[in-house]
Every structure is written in structure tokens, then in C-alpha cells.
Amino acid sequence: MHMRPLDGIKVVTLEHAIAAPFCTRQLADLGARVIKIERPGVGDFARGYDERVHGLSSHFVWTNRSKESLALDLKQPAATEILDALVADADVLVQNLAPGAAERLGLGYDALSAKYPKLIVCDISGYGADGPYRDKKAYDLLIQSESGFLSITGSPGAPAKAGCSIADIAAGMYAYSNILSALLLRGRTGRGCRIDVSMLESMVEWMGYPLYYAIDGQAPPASAGAAHATIYPYGPFPAGDGKTVMLGLQNEREWKLFCERVLEQPELAIDERFASNSKRTSAREALRAVIVAAFAKLSAAQVIERLDQAGIANAQMNTLADVWAHPQLKARERWQEVGTAAGAVPALLPPGLPTDFEPRMDPVPALGQHTEAILRELGYDSTRIDALRASGTI
């Protein structure tokens, strides 16, 4: 097997929930050794979110493969020595503890950088390390709300959250990419750095064009359910068999093809009401009625066939059961089994198909599964380990 990009990189992480675990799981995918510190007897509280994966939490299984679990009560005096030993030869420390908790444990960047100048410290929080919101607790849905995301999602009068933990995922992605950049920079300068990732800033960046659409106090894009707010037709339409087809037009050439070859109403292409995307968006109710009437004569399969023949982008509105069985993912062999305490489960291989290495797809750890092995690696013998266990430190 070829070397992975992060082979030899050691990551110590004090993490819970989604943002930091998603970041560090991706580092593990690339070969990093990730040591996850968890509270004895309880662990990452995401372990208790549900029991959907053969008795295990769906959240935890998704974000924690290929890691080592070290059960350690950080409030016990003996934990300090263990933490110091772990951090001393670590490349990266990641934490998303409550605001101020890392500093109280002596794990703030200022305290660590003097002792370990090559260490990269990544702090993930709701609002960042300073500013008036610094000490506010934050969770995914709260950041979706604070960032304005809820205000443009859903239907008029009925805001809706994203169906997945989008704010956590955004923060985790920026933490991951910043750590990769910091490792590259350290290779040039020989020094580590601090990375301060804010969930709010991550989500505001992902607000993208809607934020600019509303610049200078202009009206924001209207909430449009599953349809696009400012491009039309671009969204779901019912077919005659009761199934739904998603389609999207991006330019005037596609609009003309759609009228001629899908709707079979070429006169619509020169109808002044629909002569530009802005006009089609303004007249969306009238245009939707035309499209729905045309599709009512066809099955979803027939609509998709016409769209494909015309070169118009389209998709099925799949359920999650459909995604598990998706023929494209199967054809590209994107599912691989990983181990868990409850047996093997399927996991999606990391997006991207590198030709020179295989991503790491090791088991999801049980709570404290690697505690003794890690302590022995640090020089602890059986007597000291038993004492740590007796004191509740591990």
C-alpha cells in the first residue's frame, strides 16, 4: 500500500458532537493517528444521541472511524501528566470544548506554544475566540438561525433548518482545511500556529450569494421551499404518476430546448413573460402551471427521458433508502465496511478517488478501547494503570 498523505502525523483531540469529530475523522482518513480523549463511563455525548446503527449512535459512527479512544477524566490531577505526555509529541491539538475550558486545562495556545513551538492548535467554537459572543454556547441549529440561514430556507412563513448538521459540517471542513494548510506552512517555517474556527463565520461564508443578493439593505431571496429562489424553473415538479422530478435550467439555450423538446411548446421560448431568467422567476406561478400541466400527461420516467434527450439537468427526489441502494455509488464501489463494537457497517469512502493511496477505513472505537495501550506507550506500567483506574482518572 502506498503511503498516505498524513502518515506519521499525530492528532490529539478533545472533542464532542460533530464539528471537531468530523474534522479529525477526515484527518484520520488521510492517515493521521487520531487520539480521541473521552470522559470515562460517558464518552463523547454524541454516543448517546440515538441507537440507530445496531444500537450505536448514527452521529458517532459517521464521524469517528479510524480513531483511538482514550478514556480520561480531565478534572483529575493525574490527567495533567498524561495530557502533557500526549501533547509533547503531537503535531496537532483539536478541541471544541465549552468556551474557556481549554484554557482552564492549560491547553490554550499561548500556554502550549512556548513549550511546543511546532504544535498546531485548532480551536473550534460557536463564535470565535473574541468579540461579544465569545462566551456564548452554540449548537448547529442555533448557528443556522444566527447566520440567517433559516430566514431564507423553507417556505414563506415557515422557516426550516437543513436536514443535516450543516453548521457543524461547515466548521469541521474549515478546521480540516486550515489544519492541512498549517501543516504545509510548518514544513516551510518549522513553527506551528493557532487556528480559530468559528461556526458562525463558517456558516456566513456558506450563505454565499444570498448574502450579496441582499446587499445594501435590498430584499433577500424569497423562501421557495425545495425550489431555487432566484433561478426558474429550477426545482421539483410532479409528474402524472404522482412521482416528483427535479430539474434545473441555467441559461437561455436550455430554456429554448426545454420548451421545444420537453414541453413541446416552442412558442413559450418567445413568450415575453418568460423572456429571461428574471422574468421567469417573477412569473414563476404562471410558468409552474404550464409545466405541471405538461408533465401531468407523462410519467416521471417519461419526463426524465425527455429531459435527458434534451440535455436538461435533472434528478430524482430520492429517499435515504434510495441513496443506500444508489446505482451510481454501487457502480463506483463507494461503500466499504468498517468495524464497530456492534459489527461491521457500511461507510462511504471519502469523496475523491486518489490513485496513489487508499483512505484509511479502520473501526469506530468503543469508549476507552485504546486507553491501556496508549498509557503503556507513554511508559505506564500495570501498577500505575490500576491506580489511575481506581482513582477514576481512566
Q: What is the pLDDT of residues 150-203, one digit of tens each?
A: 999 998 889 999 999 999 999 999 999 999 999 999 999 999 999 999 999 999
Domain match, 26 and 151 both = yes
Asked, for residue 379, whether it belongs to a domain, the answer is: yes
Asked, for residue 42, whether it belongs to a domain, the answer is: yes
Say if residues 191 and 117 touch (Cβ distance below 8 Å): yes
Residue 92 has pLDDT above 80, yes or no: yes
Confidence of residue 354 (pLDDT cuts 50, 70, 90): confident
Coil, helix or strand at residue 124 = strand
* Distance between CA atoms of residues 24 and 11, nearest Å: 8
C-alpha cell at 298: 407523462
Q: What is the pLDDT of residues 31-40, one digit of tens each?
A: 999 999 999 9
- State the catalytic residue, choosing from 168, 308, 322, 386: 168
Q: What angle do CA 129, 135, 136 make, to 5 degrees?
A: 120
Tell me, what's the pLDDT at 288? Answer: 97
Asked, for residue 214, whether it belongs to a domain, the answer is: no
Tell me, what's the pLDDT at 169? Answer: 98
Domain match, 203 and 60 both = yes
Asked, for residue 375, whether it belongs to a domain, the answer is: yes
Please compute the mean of the pLDDT values over residues 226-244 and round it to a whole number: 94
If you average pLDDT over every residue of the chain, what do you get? 96
CATH number, domain at 304? 3.30.1540.10
Residue 94 has pLDDT above 70, yes or no: yes
The H or E element containing residue 67 is strand 67-71
Please compute the mean of the pLDDT values over residues 229-257 and round it to a whole number: 96
Q: How many domains does the chain have?
A: 2
**Domain final residue, candidates 261, 284, 316:** 316
Domain match, 308 and 346 both = no
Say if residues 192 and 123 touch (Cβ distance below 8 Å): no
**Domain final residue, candidates 275, 292, 316:** 316
Domain match, 108 and 251 both = no
CA-closest candidate to residue 47, choices 339, 335, 365 = 365
Asked, for residue 168, whether it belongs to a domain, the answer is: yes
Asked, for residue 44, whether it belongs to a domain, the answer is: yes
Residue/partner pairs of 145-153 with CB below 8 Å, 24 or more apart:
146/200, 146/203, 147/200, 147/203, 147/204, 147/206, 147/207, 148/204, 148/207, 148/210, 148/211, 148/220, 149/203, 149/206, 149/207, 151/220, 151/223, 152/210, 152/220, 152/221, 152/223, 152/229, 153/223
Residue 245 has pLDDT above 70, yes or no: yes
Q: What is the DSSP string of 207-241?
A: THHHHHHTGGGPPPPPP-TTS-SSSSSEEEEE-TT
CATH number, domain at 140? 3.40.50.10540
**Domain final residue, candidates 254, 288, 316:** 316
Q: What is the pLDDT of residues 283-307, one digit of tens each?
A: 999 999 999 999 999 999 999 999 9
Give the structural domain span for 82. Answer: 10-208+331-391
Q: Whose grid coordinates read 507513554?
A: 378
Domain match, 195 and 82 both = yes
Asked, for residue 377, whether it belongs to a domain, the answer is: yes
Residue 221 has pLDDT above 70, yes or no: yes
* Distance between CA atoms of residues 208 and 341, nearest Å: 41
Q: What is the pLDDT of residues 190-207, one digit of tens each?
A: 999 999 999 999 999 999
Q: What is the pLDDT of residues 249-267, one digit of tens each?
A: 999 999 999 999 999 999 9
Say if residues 340 and 365 touch (Cβ distance below 8 Å): no
Residue 1 has pLDDT above 70, yes or no: no
Domain match, 292 and 361 both = no
CA-closest candidate to residue 61, choices 275, 330, 344 = 344
Domain match, 187 and 247 both = no
C-alpha cell at 223: 423562501
Residue 125 has pLDDT above 90, yes or no: yes
Residues 6 or more apart in contact with residue 27 via CB below 8 angstroms: 6, 9, 11, 34, 92, 176, 179
Domain match, 248 and 312 both = yes
Domain match, 241 and 134 both = no
Catalytic annotation present for 29 = no
Domain match, 24 and 171 both = yes
Domain match, 309 and 352 both = no
* Distance between CA atoms of residues 293 and 238, nearest Å: 9
Asked, for residue 4, whether it belongs to a domain, the answer is: no
Domain match, 190 and 299 both = no
